[in-house]
Chain A
Amino acid sequence: QKEVEQNSGPLSVPEGAIASLNCTYSDRGSQSFFWYRQYSGKSPELIMSIYSNGDKEDGRFTAQLNKASQYVSLLIRDSQPSDSATYLCAVNGPNDYKLSFGAGTTVTVRA
């Protein structure tokens, strides 16, 4: 059973600031890492995937992976009120049909 832990939040940031979200995982064999965004009352939607150590940037989002430390993070630059949501970290291993999710971190961006 893979364990995925996220900082519990809630995280409140002013508009235009950087929001930093952290996630750790227990299975050292994990190979695929994802960040999903979930608006209140809606289903999760994929915003980032990362498979190799280092940084991956997509617009205002940057995912960072450190497999040695079993740590993955998400940075949201120039935070906007529309970024207010719960962010879920998800992890799975090689040839693994199952994706394990963290409990999520709720982000509120203050206008």
Chain B
Amino acid sequence: SQTIHQWPATLVQPVGSPLSLECTVEGTSNPNLYWYRQAAGRGLQLLFYSVGIGQISSEVPQNLSASRPQDRQFILSSKKLLLSDSGFYLCAIGQVSGANVLTFGAGSRLTVL
């Protein structure tokens, strides 16, 4: 079965500091991978998705970036965090074919002060 690991689970960062959130998956090959963000009391906003190594699609212009250096590794980064970057960051796996059912990791909760 598929397993998604996200870390760190929680972090508090000052404005202007860099960010790196990591997601690794097990039990699947060549998955579609996604980064979503959920701000407090809000719905899920798609940030990036990837259909393969080095292939990143960005959904929302912002100061975040994503990379997929390996098939089962997806990294979310920022060079300088903003207050508005606070939120719950979720990595997800999507099925490669058929209906795009998403399975989410446990998430990383970021607070920018």
CB atoms of A32 and B102 under 8 A apart: no
* Interface-side segment among B12-20, B40-48, B62-70, B71-79: B40-48
Decide if A98 is an interface residue (CB 8 Å cutoff).
Answer: yes
Residues of B within 8 A of A97 (CB): 32, 49, 51, 57, 94, 100
A contact face: mostly helix, strand, loop, or mixed: loop
Q: Choose from A42, A88, A96, A103 the contact partner of B100 (Cβ within 8 Å).
A: A96
CB atoms of A32 and B99 under 8 A apart: yes
Q: Choose from A45, A46, A98, A104 the contact partner of B43 (Cβ within 8 Å).
A: A104
A-B CB contact pairs (8 Å), 22 listed: A32-B101, A43-B104, A43-B107, A44-B90, A45-B104, A46-B101, A46-B103, A88-B44, A90-B102, A92-B100, A97-B32, A97-B49, A97-B51, A97-B57, A97-B94, A99-B102, A101-B36, A101-B43, A102-B43, A103-B42, A103-B43, A104-B43
Which residues of B are at the interface with A, using a C-beta cutoff of 8 A?
Answer: 32, 34, 36, 42-44, 46, 49, 51, 57, 59, 90, 94, 99-107
